[in-house]
Amino acid sequence: MAPETQAHGPTPRYFTWEEVAQRSGRDKERWLVIDRKVYNISEFTRRHPGGSRVLSHYAGQDATDPFVAFHINKGLVKKYMNSLLIGELSPEQPSFEPTKNKELTDEFRELRATVEQMGLMKANHVFFLLHLLHILLLDVVAWLTLWIFGTSFMPLLLCTVLLTTVQVQAGWLQHDFGHLSVFSSSMWNHLLHHFVIGHLKGVPASWWNHLHFQHHAKPNCFRKDPDINMHPIFFSLGKILSVELGKQKKKYMPYNHQHKYFFLIGPPALVPFFFQWYVFYFVFKRKKWVDLAWMTSFYARVFLTYVPLLGLKGFLGLFFIVRLLESNWFVWVTQMNHIPMHMDHDQNVDWVSTQIQATCNVHKSAFNDWFTGHLNFQIEHHLFPMMPRHNYHKVAPLVKSLCAKHGIEYQSKPLLSAFADIIHSLKDYGQIWLDAYLHQ
């Protein structure tokens, strides 16, 4: 390594990949590489707007592709990053680690440039306005149903269905704003994100950001993707992780029956029995008072509009049933793309491989697009997380072509088959765990 000089001096400091890899955070110091520039993020992680963990997940690695994928104004961000710059890779060093496919990475970056030139990163604001209006309309109709027709069984049933649809569709819409995929300005995306997730759903935006960006950075990577944190306490997930768990003789649950108890502690329980209380713990622990204010506006609104019609007990019963139904809808849709896919510890492979091996698609149809919030195009969404969802189907043929050229499986299946694959994969993982537990 060259003698130390100032990062902005005439002679930059040069580093090797071996030196960068040693600063992965295990000894507190953290470096990462973007466009061959080496940054010391050890102190910055706590101030990172996207959260400390998502940044730390790339410590000791090249982070060029996720940096491009997650930031709108990259030039402005890089100016703020100048104070973190400590040098660059030595001229003889490759631009990224040998664990990453150079040809695939280069071609994906060309594809991304093509996608931007085609205008596929630009949103159709009318599309998102109509989605917001249909959510607001259903919300009003749900209340009017009880106000006009009373609180007998049929009006109450219709109101429950409408409110469940509102909650789920608002969940898909907040996802768009959270990914900064609607407006070219971060400020407007953040403001609408707070409104939709906070006022329409009663959920803190900061909590969603904290979890979801980690998921996108390292999907299905154990200890880095919080979406698979149910392994190993509740479920044994992935073939590799299940063998590992079995060999360690760990048994927190009867995993060989997990495809059965999934129906009890999975879809019905996640939202009403975990998310519902945990979001309050999150905002108070982290002192997210702006989020708390938005959440309070939601609870005040639904309380003041429904308690006069149903009474307190009736309102609480309705609220619980809506959360229960929402939870089923949410879990089946969000897990169909990931649970059947590859899971492992972080192997530091390239961006494309990281995303595609952890995701699969569901066939396009008008119903599937609406029902899943276009998350049936999970592959395209993970490769281009800031792309407006109405453009996923346009980029899909280009992604398929890239996968075919490099021998990567591009999975797409019918909606019901995707649901069934959750159960089939859980059964397989449970059996793999049992075999390793008993015989290895």
Whether residue 2 lies inside any domain: the answer is no
Whether residue 5 lies inside any domain: the answer is no
* 135 neighbors 370 (Cβ within 8 angstroms): no
What burial letters (b/e) apply to 260-285, b meaning 16+ CB within 10 Å? eebeebbbbbbbbeebbeebeebbee
Whether residue 8 lies inside any domain: the answer is no
Residues 427 and 323 in one domain: yes
As given in the structure block, the two tokens for residue 322 are 């809506």
The percentage of the chain sitting over the pLDDT mark of 90, rounded to a whole number, equals 92
> Mean of the pLDDT values across residues 297-309?
98
Domain ends where: 58, 88, 118? 88
Residues 273 and 142 in one domain: yes
Q: For residue 225, which phi and psi values (nearest 5 degrees)?
A: -100, 110
Whether residue 3 lies inside any domain: the answer is no
Residues 314 and 251 in one domain: yes
- Model confidence at 52, pLDDT cuts 50, 70, 90, reads confident
pLDDT given at position 27: 66
Residues 271 and 419 in one domain: yes
Mean pLDDT estimate for the chain: 95
> Mean of the pLDDT values across residues 35-60?
92
Domain ends where: 65, 88, 111? 88
Whether residue 395 lies inside any domain: the answer is yes
> Mean of the pLDDT values across residues 63-70?
96
> Mean of the pLDDT values across residues 182-205?
97
- C-alpha gyration radius of the chain: 23
- Model confidence at 10, pLDDT cuts 50, 70, 90, reads low
Closest alpha carbon to 301 in 284, 283, 315: 315
Residues 38 and 185 in one domain: no
Does residue 116 carry a pLDDT above 80?
yes
Does residue 3 carry a pLDDT above 50?
no
Does residue 304 carry a pLDDT above 80?
yes
Whether residue 9 lies inside any domain: the answer is no
Does residue 4 carry a pLDDT above 90?
no
As given in the structure block, the two tokens for residue 165 are 């649809």
Residues 340 and 395 in one domain: yes
Residues 135 and 173 in one domain: yes
> Mean of the pLDDT values across residues 284-302?
97
Domain total in the chain:
2
Does residue 225 carry a pLDDT above 70?
yes
Whether residue 7 lies inside any domain: the answer is no
Nearest 10 degrees: Cα torsion 267, 273, 275, 280: 170
Domain ends where: 60, 88, 116? 88
Does residue 118 carry a pLDDT above 70?
yes
Residues 129 and 40 in one domain: no
Residues 129 and 47 in one domain: no
Residues 33 and 121 in one domain: no
pLDDT given at position 1: 42
Q: What is the pTM of this model?
A: 0.94
pLDDT in tens, 15-30: 999 999 999 986 679 9
Return the minimum-mean-pLDDT range out of 17-26, 63-72, 171-180, 376-385: 17-26
Enclosing H/E stretch for 368: helix 366-372
Residues 59 and 112 in one domain: no
pLDDT given at position 324: 98
Residues 310 and 414 in one domain: yes
Distance CA 400, CA 406 (A): 10
The residues, ordered by sequence, that sit 6+ positions from 358 with a Cβ below 8 Å of its Cβ are 219, 220, 221, 338, 341, 342, 343, 382
Distance CA 258, CA 263 (A): 9
Helices 276-285, 289-335: axis angle to 10 degrees equals 140
Beta bridge partners of 14: 88
Question: What CATH number is associated with residue 30?
Answer: 3.10.120.10
Does residue 198 carry a pLDDT above 80?
yes
> Mean of the pLDDT values across residues 390-404?
98
> Mean of the pLDDT values across residues 310-331?
98
Whether residue 128 lies inside any domain: the answer is yes
Return the minimum-mean-pLDDT range out of 9-23, 80-94, 167-181, 235-249: 9-23
The parent domain of residue 76 ranges over 14-88
